[in-house]
Structure 1
Amino acid sequence: MIMNRGLKQVGTSMFLVFLSGSLWAQEKAPKLTVDLDKAIEIALSENPTIKVADMEITRKDYAKRETIGNLFPKIGASADYSYALKKQVMYMDFDMSSFMPGGTEGSTTEMQGMDDGMEVGRDNTLTMGFNLQLPIIAPSLWKSVKLSKADIEQSLESARSSRLSLVNQVEKAYYSVLMANDSYNVIKQSYDNAKLNAANYENKYKQGSASEYDVLRSQVQVRNLEPSLLQSENAVSLSKMQLKVLLGLEMSVDLDVANTLSDYEKTMYTETLSIDTTLTNNTSLRQLDLQTDYLKRALEVQKMSWYPTLSATAMYNWLDMFNNGKYGDSHWNPYSTIGLSLSIPIFQGGTRYYKVKQAKVSVASMAYQRQNLHRNLSMQVQSSIDNIQKSIKQIASNSEGVKQAEKAYMIMQKSFEIGSATFVELNDADLALTNSKLAYYQAIYDYLAARSELDLILGNRVFPDSSVK
């Protein structure tokens, strides 16, 4: 008995320690309250997608420098060793008798040896030195430098596209948090009203002025609202987690938003009137134009393969030859050369010709792709404008509906308190108020989502980062 009591005390102490540690961890969790601009700023600086896009720009810049490096001299060092399994034989086609000792009469044997050839060189050969090569005329290489610049421009626009897409995602996630918060508040208010009505009925039942059926019905209404309340709480938590992921924040951060959906109703009319619907800054069109420019420059590179190339060469080497076991008798002999190397392409089986043809077809097809893309984007812009206008009209109507529903509920609440209205009528008024508020917030969310989609299509946002234009 004593042992069990001691174990219970130890278990209770451990539970209290764990509970206090959990509470301390919750108290120490960092809290961050952001508005939309702050959320976008954090996302653009912390989101891994943007960092990867910026690293791609850096990689393409290194590739351009690599191409430029081909215009500079190339200097290398080399060393070679060879062993002669059989030496080369040299023959002389002129009379060597005058060069032989003893005159012509005493050199018959030596001359016969000359007719059989004379071995040249030694068994071992060592060569080491330096070489230099410098392109002087290289049309294809010059065009490749401009091609690398066009590649960097495509990476810059791709990074801008990633930023626009991220801003769109952050805006939608932020609006989702606002929608979840406002929906939770509406349902929570309805739940609190139901609890208050249930408490009133219970008091009336105790006083004998209400039936048990009325008490049970009011309590059932409270129970029916609890799943919706829990679902709205989960929606708030999930929307905040999605926003944290986009902002690159840890899940332990206590994130909160600084706005409500109704805050955006004040400025939506002036913002809608100032919308510029031109597609000049659309990132898809700009990427297609840059890709077309890249293909044109690639076509120029292909054409340059028909031109000759000229390069300067220089070499300074040392040569040593010796027989086996006689390295000490060797001598290092330097020699050097300078020259020009001209390469003239004449015929390669038609490969260059058909490469140029392929490049021309690719450039021509881009014009049709751009035409089709422009039409689709124009349709999307018009659709977004229609959705925005429809949402604005719906907001105005729902806003008036909320005012009427609130007034109707207040009248029904007073009537219920004095006994001239039934619980069913009060419940209907509360349900109508809840639905009108949810519809009102949904209309504002639809407007903000449509506006965000339009901003993504137009691409008019200017980023402070100078690396992305």
Structure 2
Amino acid sequence: MTLFRKLFFVGVFSVAVPVYAQTDTLRLSRQECVAIALNESQTLKVADMEIKKADYSKKEVLANLFPAIDFTGAYQRAIELQSMNMSMGGMSQTIKMGTDNNWNLGFSASMPLINASLWKSIGLSDTQILQSLESARASRLDLVNNVNKAYYALLLAIDSRKVIRQNYDLAKLNAEIYERQYKAGTASEYDMLRSQVQVTNVEPELLQADIAVRQCQLQLAVLMGIETRATLMPTVGLSDMQQEMYGYYLGDNRSLSDNTSLRSLDINRKLAQQNVTLQKMAWVPTLAATFNINWNAMSNDNPIKNQHFNPYSNVGLALQIPIFHGGAKYQKLRQAQVQVKQLDLQRETLVNSLNMQVDLALDNINRQVNQISSSEEGMKSAEKAREIMQKSFEIGAATYLNLRDSEMALTSAQLSYYQAIYNYLVSTSELDTLLGREEALGIQNN
């Protein structure tokens, strides 16, 4: 089944008939799980929306470079006109001033010609877009790392269930042998009952193993952003992954340049440095062009009829020179400079911490490789010892206790072997995430 068909299956699965959904099994490789998660994850969709928000924010800043045009309209109705008394020829006369109706309509436009702060804000918006992009990249890295670990956990749960199932089958086989021997009179009832008890003791472990597998399947489905009604199954086992693990190579390429935390901190420092420049631009004079065109009309009685609008217009320049603001601009500048120094110190601490984490991760990986080799040898020895003890038990040359000890030793060796492979795979995924190695994690850059 191609990846396209599997993605199509995921898309239509939610509308499938529930009766059949219970039995559907979707077999996926780790790479296919990663691809589906990157395509369906709601977390990544939210991160992509943050990028769009940052882009719209930049366009908002760019819009301030264009002329701003506004229309205004005002109407005023006089209730009582202002009056003035004048003495003329010894007689007092009252004169009313103004009109009953006053209309004022007009357009105003302004455009910045020199505005250094606005120009610098555009560069600040570009850096904010980079910040959103890096945040989305960090979300992708975390998601893929979690999908990888969930996939490996599913492999471990399935292989562990196989080991417990094998132990259960052996316990049942031994119980059947004891039952036959008891009926033949060659074994005691106590030995038969003890072997049957061993079977019932393993049954809860088998049930817990089934629950663990289902939990891992649900966790993986949730991380992939798909319906949880399907039964997700891997295409490989942990022993198959062992063949690929020796292909993991880091070499001398332990650069932290792609670490998402470090890159985010560098972007924040760039923003802080741009903020310093922006605060300095607050002392630069601004110049804007203005234009106004208005119409006014004045009349008495009816406010609608017989209105005569008379136009008037003007154009001008508005110059603003900052002189003194109580030192507020200077204090803002000092705050921005302190923030840059803080980020420099934080970066130094972060680099030291990341280098330590890389050293520890590499040390753990090397130890886990040795652990896998020793666990594999121990498992082979335990398997051989169990076979010898099984044959000895069947011919009566070994006790049931000896046989059960060999079976428990084999079970423990197998579980340790699979656990060692799981630990190695998780450690490599964590290290790739730490170093930001998108290609190693299976993230395809468009």
TM-score, normalized by length of structure 1? 0.86
State the 1:120 CA deviation. 4.9
Match 1:61 to one of 28, 31, 55: 55
Matched, 1:164 2:151: no
Matched residue type, 1:208: G
Give the aligned partner of residue 200 of structure 1: 177
Please give the residue correspondences for 1:52-91 in structure 2 after superposition, counting only pairs within 5 Å: 52-84=46-78
Q: 2 CA distance for matches of 1:152 and 1:307?
A: 26
Q: Is the 8 A contact 2:21 2:230 kept in 1?
A: no
Give the aligned partner of residue 382 of structure 1: 359
Q: Is the 8 A contact 2:291 2:313 kept in 1?
A: yes
Q: 2 CA distance for matches of 1:424 and 1:337?
A: 107
Q: 1 CA distance for matches of 2:91 and 2:321?
A: 48
Please give the residue correspondences for 1:330-349 in structure 2 after superposition, counting only pairs within 5 Å: 330-349=307-326
Match 2:305 to one of 305, 328, 342: 328
Larger Rg: 1
State the 1:88 CA deviation. 6.9
Give the aligned partner of residue 206 of structure 2: 229
The 1:30/1:72 distance shift into structure 2, 3 A limit, reads farther
Deviations 1:88-135 (A, max 9, x none): 789xxxxxxxxxxxxxxxxx938998xx99765323211112111111
Match 1:32 to one of 13, 26, 29: 26
Give the aligned partner of residue 187 of structure 1: 164
Shifted more, 456-465 versus 183-192: the winner is 456-465
Aligned-residue CA RMSD in angstroms? 2.3
> The residue matched to 2:315 in structure 1 has which SS?
strand
Matched, 1:300 2:277: yes
Shifted more, 205-214 versus 215-224: the winner is 205-214
> The residue matched to 2:256 in structure 1 has which SS?
coil
Q: 2 CA distance for matches of 1:326 and 1:243?
A: 74
State the 1:275 CA deviation. 6.8
The 1:85/1:111 distance shift into structure 2, 3 A limit, reads farther
Q: 1 CA distance for matches of 2:346 and 2:66?
A: 39
Give the share of equivalent positions with the same residue, in percent.
Answer: 48
Deviations 1:258-294 (A, max 9, x none): 1111112122223145473211110000000000001
State the 1:386 CA deviation. 0.9
Matched residue type, 2:175: A
The 1:357/1:446 distance shift into structure 2, 3 A limit, reads same
TM-score, normalized by length of structure 2? 0.91
Q: 2 CA distance for matches of 1:394 and 1:428?
A: 23
Deviations 1:59-114 (A, max 9, x none): 11011101101101111211011234666789xxxxxxxxxxxxxxxxx938998x
The 1:363/1:334 distance shift into structure 2, 3 A limit, reads same
Q: How many residues align?
A: 426
Q: 2 CA distance for matches of 1:326 and 1:182?
A: 90
Q: 1 CA distance for matches of 2:80 and 2:262?
A: 69
Q: 2 CA distance for matches of 1:273 and 1:360?
A: 39
> The residue matched to 1:454 in structure 2 has which SS?
helix
The 1:389/1:241 distance shift into structure 2, 3 A limit, reads same
Matched residue type, 1:74: A
State the 1:200 CA deviation. 1.2
* Uncovered stretches (5+) of structure 2, i.e. residues with no partner: 1-16
* Uncovered stretches (5+) of structure 1, i.e. residues with no partner: 1-22, 91-107
Give the aligned partner of residue 464 of structure 1: 444
Match 2:35 to one of 34, 38, 41: 41
> The residue matched to 2:109 in structure 1 has which SS?
strand
